[in-house]
Amino acid sequence: MNKIRIYKYLSFLVLLLSLIFIYPTFQSSSLPNWWSYFFPSNKINLGLDLRGGIFVVLGLDKDTSSSVIVEKEASKIKLEIVNKKILFRDISTLENNQIVITFYDNKSLENVRNIFGDSGDYNIRIEKNSIIVSLQDEFLDQTKSKLLQQVKNILTNRIDQFGVIESSIQLSGKERIIVQIPGIEETDRERILNIISKTAMLEFKPVIEEGSSSSLLFEKYREKGNKYSFYTGVNDNFIVTSKSSKLKGESIEDASVSYDEFNRPYVSFSLNKLGSNVFSKLTKDNLGKKIAIILDGKVKSTPVVQSQIFGSGSISGSFSFEEANDLAIILKSGSLPIPIIILQEKTIGPSLGTDSVNNGKNSMILASILIFFFMIFYYKRLGLVCDLALVFNLICIFGLLSLFGVTLTFPGIAGLVLTLGMAVDGNIIIYERIKEELKKGKDSISSVELGFDRSVSTILDANFTTLIAAICMFLLGDGPIKGFAVTLSIGIFSTIFSNIVVARILTKLLVRSPLPIRGSDEV
């Protein structure tokens, strides 16, 4: 089997697969049930700038992010001291990113001092019977970056569970996250913003005392205010709980919406093994007493513990189904490790997307028509061969875009238009080589063979240098730049195949036709 025959079969196979991959993009609503068992059902998705949707910029809450990190470090230090069985009096935090550890004796103080060693993350200072730990700015910045990455992953899980599969969530700089969700209706806007911005810090705390006057409770417990927390209850009363919580939302393994005997929705949850053990002990120690279930600093309910509970619980309240479902999504995906705020939010209407789609279509159609006529005018019948190869190239490109489920943006359309020009450029290189061979007096078949063989290295060099630039744009760019890089990269691979394989087959067919090319003037 000769090389040209192999090229024919390969080209037919690529064309057939491309048409199969494209089909779901245009017939996604009428795909047969058996389709997904044999073929991929991915389709080309339209990006935010083409389809409309929500664009949100999230950032760290600078007023609280540092204090949260300090609190986490204080808990970490406290746990390590307890594990070492070292006696200490108290651990508290100050506003200027400091942790104060007080002791009863100097021996315990020295033992804790040795634990820190020469850590570059902390600045240690000893005053009387206390160790003052100051967190370094560099350590705070590094910790914020790590926590922001965790926030990104949690938000991705939340939005995926909401049912949005075309969202884009990306880090921007050191303290920002950009969220783009195309195709969201105005009615779902508030729900999405609530899911994105809610910290979902869930805590379970025994109620120490409750009353109708906050001032009386505060007066009673203010001397040890760093050990207690004060909340407004669900019945407009006031409650006092311990400052720390042994059971938090990160112990939740699953959450879902259930209904009580009056068909009112509530959120049921199950805990992991460690959380189950803590919850079991917490309910056992507080039989007949109330436990406050607190979400983001607000008391959701204060049920009385009737019996010891193992591994599961529920959160009730005046929820609608959507509110309960959103809360279940948030709890199941996990609480954010650090508070975030919405810095910028805008809803892009579908009219803008429609205009962009139409402009993109018009630019591609106009570019294709001009290229087609130019090639026929300048290269005559070989120009027609180039146009057919270009059509094959476009089918392959859209087939690959559909296969990978690429989200197409306006810069992505620009990448496609650029690919058209690059594809034609490869054919021009080949045809000019063929011209040179014809001018040397060689016959048509030999000129075509030499023209293609001697153009391959030039075409590969030109496309691979462009591919390097596209890879750099994808790795270092963000949002629209990545979209441009993806479509350009896919176009490069399709163009190489079209120039080297498909154009060779079509040119060979032309040469062997009843009207072969005659001399350089026919090219």
pLDDT digits (tens, 9 = 90+) for 25-84: 877 667 777 777 777 777 777 777 777 778 888 888 776 777 778 888 888 888 888 888
Give yes or no: residues 136 and 263 share one domain.
no
328 and 455, same domain (yes or no): no
Residue range 334-351: mean pLDDT, rounded: 75
**Total number of domains constituting the chain:** 3
Asked if residue 182 belongs to a domain, the reply is: no
pLDDT of res. 163: 59
Neighbours of 108 (CB within 10 A): 18
Asked which of 220-224, 244-248, 405-409 is least confident by mean pLDDT, the reply is 220-224
Residue 96 placed within a domain: yes
Question: What is the model's pTM?
Answer: 0.59
> Does residue 294 sit in the same domain as residue 311?
yes
* Chosen domain end from 296, 318, 347: 347
Residue 110 binned pLDDT confidence (cut-offs 50, 70, 90): confident
Of the candidates 371, 378, 358, 482, the one whose C-alpha atom is nearest the C-alpha of residue 419 is 371
Q: Is residue 157 part of a domain?
A: no
Say whether pLDDT at 1 is over 60: no
Q: Which pLDDT does position 185 carry in this prediction?
A: 66
Residues 507 and 364 in one domain: yes
Q: Tell me what pLDDT residue 420 has.
A: 79
Q: Nearest Cα to 60, choosing from 153, 169, 158, 173? A: 173
Tens digits of residue pLDDT in 502-520: 888 888 777 776 655 555 4
Query: What value does the mean pLDDT take over residues 114-125?
Result: 74
pLDDT of residue 513: 64
As a whole number, the mean pLDDT across the chain is: 78
What proportion of the chain, given as a percentage, has pLDDT over 70? 89
Indicate whether 314 and 222 sit together in one domain: yes
Give dist(CA 300, CA 232) in Å, integer: 10
**What is the rounded CA–CA span in Å between residue 316 and residue 166?**
32
Write the burial class of residue 298 (CB in 10 Å: 0-12 exposed, 13-18 middle, 19+ buried). exposed
At residue 324 the predicted structure's pLDDT band, cuts being 50, 70 and 90, is confident
Please say which residue of 347, 380, 397 terminates a domain.
347
Take residue 464 and report the two structure tokens written for it. Answer: 């691979």
Structure-model confidence comparison of residues 83 and 189, the more confident one: 83
In-domain check, residue 306: yes
Residue 150 lies in a domain: no
Residues 360 and 506 in one domain: yes
What is the per-residue pLDDT across 280-315, written as a single tens digit (0 to 9) for each? 888 888 888 888 888 777 887 787 887 777 777 777
Residue 433 pLDDT greater than 80, yes or no: yes
Q: Containing H/E element for 66?
A: helix 62-83
Return the pLDDT at 478.
64
Do residues 280 and 429 both lie within one domain? no
> Do both 90 and 105 map to the same domain?
yes
Kindly report the three-state secondary structure assignment for every residue of 19-32: HHHHHHHHCHHHCC
Q: Would you say residue 113 has pLDDT above 60? A: yes
Q: Is it the case that residue 446 has pLDDT exceeding 60?
A: yes
Of 330, 347, 364, the one marking the end of a domain is 347
Q: Which residue has the higher pLDDT, 517 or 211?
A: 211
- Cα–Cα distance measured from residue 401 to residue 468, given in angstroms and rounded to the nearest whole number: 20
> Looking at residue 401, what is its pLDDT?
85
Q: Are residues 320 and 378 in the same domain?
A: no
Task: State the CATH number of the domain containing residue 73.
Answer: 3.30.1360
Question: Quick check: is 296 in a domain?
Answer: yes
**Which domain does 319 fall in, by range?**
198-347
Residue 22 has pLDDT above 70, yes or no: yes
The answer on 86 and 36 residing in a single domain is no
Domain-located, residue 162: no
Strands 45-46, 407-408: pairing is: parallel
| Close Cβ partners of 205 (under 8 Å, ≥ 6 residues apart) | 229, 241, 242, 245, 291, 292, 294
- Provide the CB-side half-sphere exposure for 250 (13 A, CA): 8
Write out pLDDT tens, residues 352-372: 566 766 777 787 788 778 888
**E strand or H helix at 169, and its extent?**
strand 168-172
Are the CB atoms for 242 and 206 separated by under 8 Å?
Answer: yes
CATH code, domain carrying 293: 3.30.1360.200
Q: Give every CB contact of residue 178 below 8 A, 6+ residues apart in sequence.
A: 55, 56, 57, 58, 168, 169, 170, 171, 172, 478, 479
* pLDDT on residue 119: 66
As given in the structure block, the two tokens for residue 100 are 């104060």
Whether residue 89 is found in the same domain as residue 36? no
pLDDT of residue 224: 58
Q: Do 225 and 323 reside in the same domain of the chain?
A: yes
Residue 19 lies in a domain: yes
Q: What is the pLDDT of residue 227?
A: 74
* CATH number of the domain residue 458 falls in: 1.20.1640.10
